A and B are shown apart, each in its own frame.
Chain A
Amino acid sequence: MAVSGIPLLDDKYPVTMDMWPVEDEQFNRIYQFYDNLKEGKFTTTKCKSCGYVSWPPRVLCPECYAEELEWTELPKRGKVLTFSEEVRGVPLGFESPLIHAWIDLGQKSPIKKFLSRIINCPAGKLKEGDEVQFVVFDIPAHPKEVKRETVMSERVFFAFEPVEK
């Protein structure tokens, strides 16, 4: 893994250039979200004191400042309200088409509207009103130091995809 122009960074992992989160439990307190994600679950934190469900997950209730939170599941299906499709000039990190959608998760969901990327969908196919579903996918693992060893930390992330492909 050569870093062009900077030979001293060969084989190094620069977290400052990583577009993905560091999900490993050694580096954050909400790693349960990623563990849940690996089981296909779409979760976030709910306050045990006032019941407020916040997105994204956190360690402090933004409403009552209680720190006792629990994990709760969010709906995995929604309807596309509005979307945009970037076909040409998609930036590094994404494949064409880069589709972003404003999704309705329904009146029963504590988080009613959700902005997400839509994957597994060719350009020109998505329509307003289409049903989409939560999808989990692998992202690159990164190395981390454990004592004198280097081990790989496996990662996943999520988006939505059309129900009818």
Chain B
Amino acid sequence: MAQHPQLPKWTEIAEKQMKGKSVETLSWMTPEGIKVKPLYTAEDLEGMESANTLPGMAPYVRGPMATMYTGRPWTIRQYAGFSTAKESNAFYHKALAAGQKGLSVAFDLATHRGYDSDHPRVAGDIGKAGVAIDSVEDMKILFNGIPLDQMSVSMTMNGAVIPILAGYIVAAEEQGVAHDKLEGTIQNDILKEYLTRNTYIYPPTPSMRVISDIMAYCSREMPKYNTISISGYHMMEAGANSVLQTAFTLADGVEYVKAALKSGMDVDTFAPRLSFFFGIGMNFFMDIAMLRAARFLWYRLMSQFNPKNAKSSMLRTHCQTSGWSLTEQDPHNNIIRTTLEAMTAALGGTQSLHTNSFDEAIGLPTDFSARIARNTQIIIQEESQICHVIDPLGGSYYLESLTNSIINESQKIIDEINELGGMAKAIESGMPKMRIEESAARKQARIDQGLDVIVGVNKYKLANEKIDFEVREVPATVRDEQIARIKEIKASRDNVAVERALADLTNAAKNGGNLLEAALPAVRARATVGEISTAMESVFGRFVATTRCISGAYSSEYTGDNNAVTAIKQRTNVFLEKQGRRPRLLVTKMGQDGHDRGFKVVASAYADLGFDVDISPMFQTPEEAAKMAIENDVHLVGASSLAAGHKSLIPALIEELKKIGGGEILVVAGGIIPPGDYDFLYKAGVKAIFGPGTPIPESADKTLALLEEKYLQ
């Protein structure tokens, strides 16, 4: 079919409406670099391999299952966990009673990084942003009253996968549940941790071995269990656009397949148990197309391994709405954002979905906000009637074109990765991380200029922000409770047996043997998560990240003249002239929170604005951050906190600075900090607090004003 016969006529009418301007000017360039035209027609679909296919059949563009939601809607799977196992367990019971289907466990950062709650490095992290698990005793409390042979349990764990998965298995054993009855998913996707979230423990090579060992053990013992959830979500949250998310996630997937094949497995024994996890942002059609494109590409990529089982090349995915897209400002708008994103995931054909609570940019979900989030999905499933048709947007000229564009653009990046020798090598080269950070910096610049609109943040701002709902906090006693239980366990167990089991595990790490299998006796003997991690760390070492920051991306996106930015640049120059050096600040992340997007975007943007910016390594203690501030002689420290550790870590930093003579150094804070805590922090000496979504020029202006007040008077 050629051009629509009437198209020239349409162009004519359209241009008349536009007072003579060309329709070309209505085209939009997406952040992915895809040109979107104002109108699509049948002509656009000509010769397109991905269009006009059927669901449940290769290449699965329209869905992995033949009947999709007409048979059964996606699984509502809400990710939750906080403070103690007991509290989380109570929350799960409530959620299940209210219509939730599977469980999804969030762990605290100390657990992720393989530290017990009594470890001095993690004092600020216990029970924050997830549940603290120190031993199988905690695991048993977590699943108390939840029959593990009947409940699909998904666990977001990547670093401490061995002790946690082993803990789950042993908790089930002690419930009397056989291994082959266990159903669920462990995230176990370590590669993306090196890219974005940084909750790894060991270096890449032993980490890949851990994954292969888990795949091998589960394919034998737990055939219904998904051994990995290959995740793009965190890349999106770190700033990756949809093409980057697709390409990097699938490339990670290929790397895992290769690792498993190398360890001697047959592709059809493990590939059907691979699952994916995509993040869904606010670009509605783009992300619908993304899920469709990802299925097509996975089918294509898997064909190189010649699987016999169709399921081996069928991409099944969990999705989560974007936490990053939620705003602290006018937070009820987040309900609408989440609804749109949930629709995207549904129209894209997800297998399960987590919808965020509207208060997540402010604090941990409450019973109320969790209910609204859950009901968002239930209402789409049960009231909107969209589940009656499979892939209802299939055949849309626009959507199919977009799907095809994502396929092509992602393939280009995948080819680039292949040239670098695969994803593990690409990660070593730093390429994927740089791309994601560049994408994030550009996004921030677009938002700060108002080119990307965020209601309540850079447009239609409220004059007075007021929190008129309850905000959940983690009680300060969690750490003490956990420490008490660790003491109890260590006093009551057979320590000789524990030592022996741990030595066996170390031996397996050194000389070969399945690590998951080797960890089970240690868990049964009540070894802690920290002890088990250390037993392997003594052989593998602990990985230290390389932090690189790109510069220039922020300001290069800042086109046109912008008064706010120019003014700040001038002021930093004046500061330089009067003080003999640029305003110098240290941006730091304390505790085990590895989300480094905000802190890097800030670093590179501030440098572009004329500040000298020191960046600290991640996972700092307040003492370490203070030493660095003193040594580099900065004017100001900016502490970024996204994981609820702010109330202990930031005041500790201020105290430490005073103690070692750096009392003059100003401290500001940024990230997810409940407004209810602002006063507490101001009293502790914090000079300014910047919530998520604060435009960079705004925070830079305030920061600079503080310094000018102090030094230029």
Q: Bound pair: A and B?
A: no
* Residue ranges of B at the interface with A (Cβ–Cβ < 8 Å): none
